[in-house]
């Protein structure tokens, strides 16, 4: 539905400036006219009565004043409209640049920036806010494209593997090891289900605020530790914990899932032998009113640029290929889910490469009232 055509903002500003200018002129002339009207009307005569006086009367002066005022107001109107048109155009020029940038963005050009120069005012603040919005949209769009491409690849891979195994089995039914085939089909099917469930969880976290309640962060951390203990024992990774009091407000199920993902990541990306994982909870010593959960693990030395990409969906420190041996391959969404859970709770996930190898993951959250309902530290 098209909107009816109205006067442009520039024309409306011009008319406003002109009206203000003319109104001010009329008021000034009215004051002068009223003042002249009430001046005493003394008769002006010549010193010699036989000489005729040429001095104008008050009425003649008022008539001349009205005539001159009419010409002055006409000139003032023309000057006011011309000046108002120029001033309005100059004032609205930054807004035109914002409009042009918005049209380019609507056409798909998210890389353009206004970068408005000049003194700090409402228009520069609007332009800076618009540039920041474009930057966020560009990053979000690029991340969405990468996510969609990686997700389609991750979901297509197990389906393609299943199809290949079924085609081979159909071509030579008698030569198949059916128990082994069924086991491999179940494994690839499980992987497809895990990726789908992780994608659904990420999508749900992106548009829904989780239900929150006061809790003790040590409780979900302890439950996550118990869930990961069998896998850590199988891989020979020693896990230690120091669960100090860390009251916060959040969703216990989601925070437990975040702790499980961090511990699984630490256990699976560790040393081949003699690996270790340290889990701690407690108040943030550097930021009063905040609590944190920290998972530190041994492992290979990680480069800084690699650490910065670990929270991207489907990116793994060991690459996209499956690892051999007893290590279970992840789907590359663990840290992305932790980031989403942390953000939904008003916190942040910090990843730092250890100088001697491995990674330190710190889940930073706002503190809550003492004595959470989820348990006590231990």
pLDDT in tens, 1-34: 555 566 677 777 788 888 888 888 888 878 777 7
The conformation of residue 175, written as its DSSP 8-state character, comes to G
Mean pLDDT calculated for residue range 103-108: 79
Q: Any idea where the domains of the chain sit in the sequence? A: 9-38+56-109, 143-207, 213-366
pLDDT at 240: 94
> Does 377 score more than 80 pLDDT?
no
Among 66-80, 225-239, 260-274, 362-376, the range scoring the smallest mean pLDDT is 362-376
pLDDT at 216: 94
Topology (CATH) of 143-207: Helix Hairpins (1.10.287)
CATH of domain 213-366: 3.30.565.10
pTM confidence score: 0.56
Among 153-157, 159-163, 259-263, 266-270, the range scoring the smallest mean pLDDT is 153-157
Which among 359, 344, 354, 243 is positioned nearest to 291, based on CA atoms? 243
Q: Measured between alpha carbons, how far is 256 from 276 in angstroms, rounded to an integer? A: 21
pLDDT at 335: 85
Residue 103 CB neighbours (<10 A): 10
Averaged confidence pLDDT in the chain = 79
Burial class (CB in 10 A: 0-12, 13-18, 19+), 193: exposed
pLDDT at 279: 96
Task: Give the sheet arrangement for strand 359-366, strand by strand.
Answer: 238-243, 276-283, 290-297, 359-366, 348-353
Q: Measured between alpha carbons, how far is 350 from 307 in angstroms, rounded to an integer? A: 10
Q: At what angle do helices 58-106 and 122-171 cross, to 10 degrees?
A: 20
pLDDT in tens, 197-234: 766 766 676 666 778 889 999 999 999 999 899 889 99
Q: Measured between alpha carbons, how far is 149 from 147 in angstroms, rounded to an integer? A: 5
pLDDT at 316: 57
């Amino acid at each position: 539905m098209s909107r009816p055509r109205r006067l442009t903002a520039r024309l409306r500003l011009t008319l406003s400036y002109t009206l203000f200018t003319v109104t001010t002129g009329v008021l000034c002339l009215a004051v002068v006219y009223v003042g002249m009207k009430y001046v005493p009307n003394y008769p002006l005569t010549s010193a010699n009565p036989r000489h005729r006086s040429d001095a104008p009367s008050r009425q003649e002066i008022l008539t001349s004043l009205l005539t001159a005022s009419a010409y002055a107001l006409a000139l003032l109107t023309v000057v006011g409209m011309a000046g108002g048109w120029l001033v309005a155009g100059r004032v609205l020029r930054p807004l035109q640049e914002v409009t042009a940038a918005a049209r380019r963005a609507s056409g798909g050009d998210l890389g353009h920036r206004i970068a408005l120069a000049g003194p700090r005012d409402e228009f520069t603040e609007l332009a800076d806010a618009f540039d920041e919005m474009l930057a966020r949209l560009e990053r979000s769009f690029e991340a969405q494209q990468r996510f969609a491409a990686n997700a389609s690849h991750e979901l297509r891979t197990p389906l393609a593997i299943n199809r290949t195994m079924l085609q081979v089995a159909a071509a030579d039914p008698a030569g198949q090891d059916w128990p082994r085939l069924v086991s491999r089909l179940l494994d690839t099917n499980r992987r497809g289900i895990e990726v789908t469930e992780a994608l659904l969880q990420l999508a749900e976290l992106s548009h829904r605020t989780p239900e929150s309640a006061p809790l003790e962060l040590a409780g979900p951390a302890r439950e996550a530790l118990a869930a990961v203990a069998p896998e850590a024992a199988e891989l020979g990774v020693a896990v230690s914990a120091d669960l100090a009091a860390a009251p916060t407000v959040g969703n216990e199920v989601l925070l437990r899932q975040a702790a499980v993902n961090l511990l699984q990541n630490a256990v699976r990306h560790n040393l081949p032998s003699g690996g270790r994982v340290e889990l701690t909870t407690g108040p943030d010593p550097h930021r009063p009113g905040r609590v944190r959960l920290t998972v530190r693990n041994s492992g290979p030395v990680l480069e800084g640029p690699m650490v910065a990409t670990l929270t991207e969906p489907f990116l793994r420190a060991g690459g996209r290929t499956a690892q051999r041996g007893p290590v279970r391959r992840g789907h590359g969404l663990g840290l992305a889910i932790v980031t989403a859970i942390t953000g939904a709770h008003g916190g942040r996930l910090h990843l730092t490469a250890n100088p001697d190898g491995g990674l330190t993951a710190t889940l930073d959250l706002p503190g809550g009232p003492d004595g959470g309902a989820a348990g006590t530290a231990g």
